[in-house]
């Protein structure tokens, strides 16, 4: 019996045990595997299941007769499975990223399929949340976009909430058009997807809702690739929004915008939806797999998935494996506050955590020269005006509590007009509060935390400074004792935050086969466009960070034409190290300006991933390393420079373990490769992380993060 078949049989056996309620572990598998058991349900009741067949889909198949034979084989296998359960039509057929079906089954039928010949995985469809943080509570600081150029000829696929392309950020430009492919993904105009929106910039638009269910949609949801939420448009803006687009707030231009890869094309795959109750919003795994399957068939170069998930191998991860086999750079969000590891822990995905970005601060100046520092992104001249506590300005019929929080319609214009209003956080969104002040003719706002919380430099309807709880109490007390007091609100220069990983960004598991996350990128409020002509908002979370890295990958593929594995290697090995460990920060913060000069890259043949998963390969040539106790690892590095260079090797950052790298130096010509060996021979048994460093004669530094654990 082949190793692959043996693995699938073990997996099916584990799934069967789990379906009978047994506590079963599959310790021999290289990755933690989702042991999804068909749940008990009413007799005859059906649920939506994802069924994955053994072997790959058509993602890596070369064109020709062999591919057509494989296509017919996949179809025959799927038909045989449908016949086994007496089904006529599945909800979805998957044939590119993987070979599988989404279909409605009873619990008994699902249990039967778990042990059916040729079936690798059966799991019930789930609805997952986007990996962005709630705009009402996440920190928001104005972050710069990318350069004026980059990404020409590369297609970035975005599996998200859709896109509103009716903005200059997604119009066809001369550079985008010159880089357009002869063969591009399909983009079909629809009634809700306006004429002219399919351009050289927006080259695909598809939507997938059968898994989520049309009957579960909110009334504002649109059955088209158009974005109802804003998340997908913001993610696309960050990754590939056009360059030199003015950012205007209240009639003032505060800068010019560019995505990280402004000349890249975008392909839209809407698989995330809104429900009547926002708590039910999300993305069905059935729709996500369908979107990934279509994106791979369309031939995207980079695939962005800003959707959270479990730290286990499931159908979504297997679909992303198919994308990697098609030489797609797969970028996914690590998620926030995950327990037991990041989302997307598989080695074929570039998993991105969230770090700090740039900071815009402001101050409130009181009489007597007292200055209170907070967050502010308001452009223009300082605001000088009398101050009023919102609680003292309640409109007729509004409660004092509603006024204190500046809820819509709660403020009395006769009191608020021409004043700076002190509003407490909570109840409604931060920007909603400043809109309430603006509608009551106020000229400014100070937003005050009532407890521990972040400070956020939002784009408000009136100039606003956001203060912490202690300074907020001081200001409230001062205003109460100075009823005719005047304050000055003013912005301070933009600075870069101390680079660090944000506390809510998911961390990796020391038990994982390869350390995660791979890298971090700005995730504390990155500027992007929002739909419906509403201008600009900030996106926080690992969604924003993943979009940043997707844009970086698009720039690099356009500039160097490297494989997906080499592109990923360059982003990891040139990252800026952070004080946090490998399981918090991965290799560190992605550096957009450094990725095209890594000196050395580590390549992975796309077929190696499945061989490793099936147990036919012991390890992968990834840039991230892990040694358990004592052991030896090897990696193959390739010179991607234009000249022959010497590269020295060393291990750095280890105090409690003996780590050595051989050979001490290698000389490589352009395109030549060499193998290095990393040995951990002694340690105190505690976890420690550092790096393997390869210094090139031209000043390059190729840094491989290394985790030594028990």
CA–CA separation, 126 and 709 (whole Å): 33
**Of the candidates 163, 151, 115, 155, the residue with the CA atom closest to the CA atom of residue 19:** 115
Angle at 501 between CA 359 and CA 562, to 5 degrees: 95
Asked if residues 113 and 51 have their Cβ atoms less than 8 Å apart, the reply is yes
The C-alpha torsion from 609 through 614 and 617 to 623, rounded to 10°, is: 30
CA–CA separation, 459 and 376 (whole Å): 8
Secondary structure (3-state) at 393: coil
- Cα distances (angstroms) measured from residue 308 to each of 272, 284, 288, 369, 549: 12, 12, 11, 47, 16
CA–CA separation, 498 and 37 (whole Å): 45
What's the helix, strand, coil split of the chain in %, to 5?
25, 30, 45
Q: Choosing from 8, 206, 231, 344, which is the catalytic residue? A: 231
Which residue carries 């399919």 as its tokens? Answer: 198
Tokens of 655: 């105090």
Q: Choosing from 19, 138, 143, 160, which is the catalytic residue? A: 160
- What is the widest separation between alpha-carbon atoms in the chain? 86
- Cα distances (angstroms) measured from residue 83 to each of 8, 75, 78, 106, 703: 22, 12, 9, 15, 53
166 catalytic residue (yes or no): no
Burial (CB count within 10 angstroms: exposed 0-12, middle 13-18, buried 19+), residue 89 = exposed
CA–CA separation, 183 and 484 (whole Å): 68
543 catalytic residue (yes or no): yes
**Of the candidates 530, 458, 502, 216, the residue with the CA atom closest to the CA atom of residue 333:** 502
605 catalytic residue (yes or no): no
- Cα distances (angstroms) measured from residue 692 to each of 379, 516, 566, 587, 654: 45, 17, 18, 11, 10
Secondary structure (3-state) at 341: coil
Helices (H), 586-638: 606-613
Which residues have a Cβ under 8 Å from the Cβ of 344 and sit 6 or more positions away? 305, 309, 317, 320, 332, 333, 334, 351, 516
Which residues have a Cβ under 8 Å from the Cβ of 236 and sit 6 or more positions away? 156, 158, 160, 163, 169, 170, 259, 266, 268, 528, 547
Q: Choosing from 377, 543, 550, 569, which is the catalytic residue? A: 543
- State the helix-helix crossing angle for 315-325 and 285-298, rounded to 10 degrees: 10
Q: Which residues are catalytic?
A: 160, 231, 543
């Amino acid at each position: 019996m082949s190793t692959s078949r043996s693995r699938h049989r073990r997996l099916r056996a584990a799934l069967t045990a789990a379906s009978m309620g047994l506590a079963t572990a599959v310790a021999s598998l290289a990755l933690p595997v989702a042991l999804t058991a068909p749940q008990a349900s009413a007799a005859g009741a059906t649920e939506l299941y994802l069924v994955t067949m053994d072997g790959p889909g058509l993602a890596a198949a070369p064109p020709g007769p062999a591919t057509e034979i494989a296509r017919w084989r996949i179809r025959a296998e799927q038909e045989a499975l449908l016949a086994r359960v007496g089904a006529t039509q599945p909800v979805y057929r998957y044939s590119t990223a993987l070979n599988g079906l989404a279909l409605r089954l009873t619990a008994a039928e699902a249990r039967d399929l778990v042990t059916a010949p040729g079936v690798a995985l059966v799991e019930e469809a789930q609805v997952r949340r986007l990996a962005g943080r709630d705009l009402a509570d996440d920190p928001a600081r104005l972050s710069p976009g990318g350069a004026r150029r980059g990404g020409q000829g590369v297609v970035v696929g975005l599996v998200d909430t859709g896109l509103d392309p009716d903005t200059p950020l997604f119009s066809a430009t001369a550079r985008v058009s010159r880089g357009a492919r002869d063969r591009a993904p399909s983009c079909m105009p629809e009634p809700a997807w306006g004429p002219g929106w399919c351009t050289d910039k927006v080259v695909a638009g598809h939507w997938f809702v059968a898994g989520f269910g049309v009957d579960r949609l909110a009334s504002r949801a649109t059955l088209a690739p158009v974005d109802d939420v804003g998340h997908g448009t913001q993610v696309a803006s960050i990754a590939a929004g056009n360059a030199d687009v003015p950012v205007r707030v209240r009639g003032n231009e505060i800068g010019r915008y560019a995505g990280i890869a402004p000349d890249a094309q975008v392909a839209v795959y809407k698989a995330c939806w809104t429900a009547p109750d926002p708590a039910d919003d999300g993305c069905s795994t059935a729709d996500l797999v369908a979107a990934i399957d279509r994106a791979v068939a369309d031939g995207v170069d980079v695939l962005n998935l800003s959707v959270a998930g479990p730290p286990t191998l499931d159908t979504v991860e297997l679909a992303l494996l198919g994308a990697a086999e098609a030489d797609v750079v797969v970028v996914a969000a690590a998620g926030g506050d995950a327990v037991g590891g990041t989302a997307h822990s598989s080695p074929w995905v570039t998993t991105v955590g969230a770090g700090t970005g740039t900071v815009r601060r402001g101050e409130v100046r009181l009489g007597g020269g007292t200055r209170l520092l907070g967050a502010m992104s308001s452009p223009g001249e300082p605001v000088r005006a009398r101050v009023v506590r919102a609680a003292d300005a309640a409109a007729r019929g509004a409660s004092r509590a509603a006024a204190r929080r500046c809820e819509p319609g709660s403020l009395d214009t006769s009191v608020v007009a021409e004043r700076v209003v002190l509003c407490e956080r909570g109840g409604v969104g931060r920007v909603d509060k400043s809109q309430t002040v603006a509608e009551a003719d106020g000229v400014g706002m100070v937003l005050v935390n009532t407890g521990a919380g972040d400070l956020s430099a939002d784009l408000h309807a009136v100039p606003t400074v956001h203060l912490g709880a202690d300074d907020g109490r001081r200001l409230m007390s001062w205003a109460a004792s100075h009823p005719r007091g005047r304050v000055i609100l003013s912005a301070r220069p933009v600075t870069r935050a101390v680079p660090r990983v944000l506390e809510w960004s998911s961390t990796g598991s020391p038990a994982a086969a390869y350390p995660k996350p791979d890298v971090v990128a700005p995730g504390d409020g990155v500027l992007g466009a929002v739909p419906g002509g509403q201008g600009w908002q900030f996106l926080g979370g690992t969604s924003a960070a993943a979009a940043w890295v997707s844009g970086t990958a698009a720039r690099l593929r356009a500039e160097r034409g490297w494989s997906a594995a080499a592109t990923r290697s360059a982003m990891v090995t040139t990252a800026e190290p952070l004080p946090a460990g490998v399981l918090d920060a991965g290799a560190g913060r992605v550096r957009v300006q450094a990725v095209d000069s890594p000196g050395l890259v580590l390549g992975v043949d796309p077929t190696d991933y499945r061989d490793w998963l099936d147990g036919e390969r012991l390890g992968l040539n990834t840039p991230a390393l892990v040694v358990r106790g004592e052991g030896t690892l090897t990696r193959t590095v390739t010179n991607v420079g234009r000249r022959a260079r010497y590269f020295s090797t060393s291990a750095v950052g280890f105090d409690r373990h003996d780590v050595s790298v051989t050979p001490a130096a290698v000389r490589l010509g352009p395109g030549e490769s060499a193998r290095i060996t990393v040995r951990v021979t002694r340690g105190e048994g505690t976890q420690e992380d550092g790096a393997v460093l390869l210094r090139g004669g031209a000043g390059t530094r190729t840094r491989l993060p290394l985790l030594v654990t028990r």
